[in-house]
A = this chain, B = another copy of it.
Amino acid sequence: MAKVYEQIADELREAIRTGELGPGDKLPTESELVRKHRKTLPTVRQALSLLQSEGLIEKHHGRGSFVRKPRKLVRRSNDRHQWEKNRAVQSEAERAGTGSTEHDTGLEMDDLVFRARYREVKAPGDLAAVFDLPEGTDLVERTYRTRYKAEDAPFNLVTSYLVRDYVAANPDLLDAANEPWPGGTMHQLRTVGIELDRMEEHITARPPTAEEAEELQLLPGTAVLIERKVSRDTDGRAVEVSEIVMPGDRTELVFTTPLERW
């Protein structure tokens, strides 16, 4: 072990692991570490950057560096799909009460701020393949941002695509002014005679892009979960494709798979 910055990082990692430095505790300042290890400032900063990229610490300009606290998780369970489907056949009064975001998070609608934007686009190759339609087919692109009223960053970024021809029979579905739609996408599809049979969710993870980090206000050393969801109707046809970007440290996806009995 020759690398000085690794040694400094190791020592701090060990202090965090043993609990000598607990969540929220302040680390020694950079100049203290310089004195202690008799190295220079850039070397010490390299060590701290490493810990930051591992998600172990947060640096705060003018205040110091701190051991990161575990985040409170927002849970999204796949049982919400059946819940949403059941809700789509309720009366308007019943549907108006809640949305699936509230079902996911347990929050009241009043705590949330919601923004939707619609746009018409031509299907690029990858989306066309999922829909099993020709490239360039007309799609409705819908982007959603939902955030807590008390915070100014949304807690996820959603982009959803519908095939224009499948939904154009109801012009209301082409206008973002009707959002938030009581009863959600399942009810929207029901107004044009589409019933969903299953949801396929594809999950990967990666570091956030610069834009995502800014929009979700992610600290360095955070990963994002990417969910690509394909909704299929009773003919097995893909009718909605959506991509959801979620902060990996604040989100827990829960999937329950039932098994047949022996």
Contacts and interface: CB of A to CB of B under 8 A. Distances in A.
A207 B222 contact: yes
Interface in A156-214: 195-210
Interface residues of A, number: 48
Nearest to A51: B210
A95 interface: no
Question: How many copies of this chain does the complex contain?
Answer: 2
A224 interface: yes
Of the candidates A78, A205, A209, A261, the one having the most CB atoms from chain B within 10 angstroms of its own CB is A205
Contact of A248 (B89, B204, B209): B204
Contacts of A223: 205-207, 223-224, 248
Main secondary structure of the interface of A (DSSP, over half): mixed
Contact of A199 (B206, B222, B257): B257
Contacts of A261: 195, 197, 234
A224 B256 CA distance: 21
Of the candidates A198, A221, A223, A262, the one having the most CB atoms from chain B within 10 angstroms of its own CB is A223
A78 B210 contact: no
Contacts of A197: 258-259, 261
A209 B56 CA distance: 9
A203 B201 CA distance: 12
